[in-house]
């Protein structure tokens, strides 16, 4: 994962800890893929991409609405496992052994970004990006 994505996920964790409703940050292509998976799995409520005009350096912003379950944040125990210098590769056999009680794992596989249940469904392993 690149530094901007890690910073945004940390910002999302900090916002959920102080019960903030939404956050904004700078968008990149990998972050957009991560947000699509998190939205599909119900980890975040919604996100909106705002593209700035050319005279603002063609940067895009993203607005994310944080999800709470029973007034408790989902991202309160976010742990970034893999970075650009260290990659934690997990096989399918080890994915099946993971304890998943109220945990969410995101993997980067050859089929794209997948959650743990999708990895089991497609019978693939991959790089563990983060857990929460």
Tell me the per-residue pLDDT of 19-48, one tens digit each, with 9 for 90 and over.
899 999 999 999 999 999 999 998 899 999
Give 40's strand partners.
none
Rounded Cα distance, 131 and 50, in Å: 27
Instruction: Confirm whether pTM is higher than 0.85.
Output: yes
Q: Which domains does the chain have, with CATH numbers?
A: 1-71 (3.30.1370.30), 81-132 (3.30.1490.10)
Q: Among candidates 94, 78, 93, which has minimal Cα distance to 129?
A: 78
Give 128's strand partners.
107
Per residue in 44-64, pLDDT tens? 999 999 987 766 677 789 999
């Amino acid at each position: 994962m690149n530094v901007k994505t890690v910073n945004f996920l940390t910002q999302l964790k900090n916002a959920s800890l102080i019960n903030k409703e939404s956050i904004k940050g700078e968008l990149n292509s990998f972050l957009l893929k991560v947000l699509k998976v998190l939205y599909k799995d119900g980890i975040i409520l919604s996100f909106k991409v705002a593209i700035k005009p050319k005279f603002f350096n063609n940067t895009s912003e993203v607005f994310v609405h944080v999800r709470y379950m029973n007034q408790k944040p989902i991202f309160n125990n976010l742990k970034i496992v893999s970075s650009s210098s260290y990659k934690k590769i997990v096989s399918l056999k080890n994915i099946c052994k993971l304890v998943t009680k109220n945990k969410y794992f995101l993997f980067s596989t050859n089929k794209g970004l997948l959650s743990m249940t999708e990895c089991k469904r497609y019978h693939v392993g991959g790089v563990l990006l983060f857990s929460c």
